[in-house]
Amino acid sequence: MKHADIKEILISEAEIKKKVKSLAAALNKDYKGKKPILVSVLKGSVVFLCDLIRELEFSPIIDFIGVSSYADSTESSGVVRLLMDLRESIVGKDVLIIEDIVDTGLTLSYLKRNLLTRKPKSLKICVLLDKKECRLKKIDVDYTGFIIPNKYCVGYGLDYAEIYRHLPYIGVLKSEIYRQQK
């Protein structure tokens, strides 16, 4: 059932499920016999991480990093802040960043730069959604789920002002919802 605040469902639960399986199949091939650290970017990527790891045939270490570039708005502030750091050392480890969405690319390029200073053995990026046309910073993504248009999406971990993360699909918010909250 579609939530009353959602204008359209962009990606259904079934489509997400299928895509997560195919991303996991690629990871199973590339990380066979390895024990990578999956760095989940809080909070949006958590739902994706939970579904993804249950399709893996290797046992990853999972860790979390908190960054913020949006202060309860639908446009990037352009400023990335580290809110919470990893617990694990990544020196000499295979690291895979798990992110919900890449938009301007500022968050992932900040994270990549930051994590590379810690000398991991390898560093790759896996994102569920890519708003390719919005890129301000070039960033190479190794595993991409869906390329989507420039619409503000919620659900499957993604929020608007901390709401809608629980929706099992990815939907576009009705525009009057942003107006109400601004």
CB 158 within 8 A of CB 164: yes
- 23-62 binders of Mg ion (CB under 5 A): 44
Q: Is 140 labeled as catalytic in the residue annotation? A: no
74, amino acid identity: T
Query: Which is closer to ligand IMP, CB of 59 or CB of 180?
Result: 180
List Cα–Cα distances, 112 to 67, 124, 140, in angstroms: 12, 9, 10
Of Mg ion, ligand IMP, none, which one does residue 105 interact with (CB within 5 to 8 Å by kind)? ligand IMP
Cβ at position 91, least distance to ligand IMP in Å: 25
Give me the residues that bind ligand IMP (CB under 6 A), please.
41, 44, 69-70, 76, 99-107, 152-154, 158
Cα Rg of the chain (Å, integer): 16
Q: Are 27 and 35 in contact (CB under 8 A)?
A: no
Question: How far apart, in whole angstroms, are the C-alpha atoms of residue 52 and residue 162?
Answer: 22
For the bound state, the minimum distance from the C-beta of residue 76 to ligand IMP, rounded and expressed in Å, comes to 4
How many helices and strands in the chain, by DSSP H and E? 4, 9
List, in order, residues 6 or more apart from 137 with CB less than 8 Å away: 104, 105, 106, 109
Q: Of the residues 94, 100, 103, 159, which is catalytic?
A: 103
Residue 157 contacts Mg ion per CB under 5 A: no
CB 146 within 8 A of CB 20: no
Residue among 58 and 134 whose Cβ is closer to Mg ion: 134
Q: Which of ligand IMP, Mg ion, none lies near 70, with the C-beta cut-off 5 to 8 A by kind?
A: ligand IMP
89 versus 181: smaller Cβ distance to ligand IMP: 181
CB of 13 to ligand IMP, least distance (A): 17
Q: Which residues bind Mg ion (CB under 5 A)?
A: 44
Q: Known catalytic residues?
A: 103
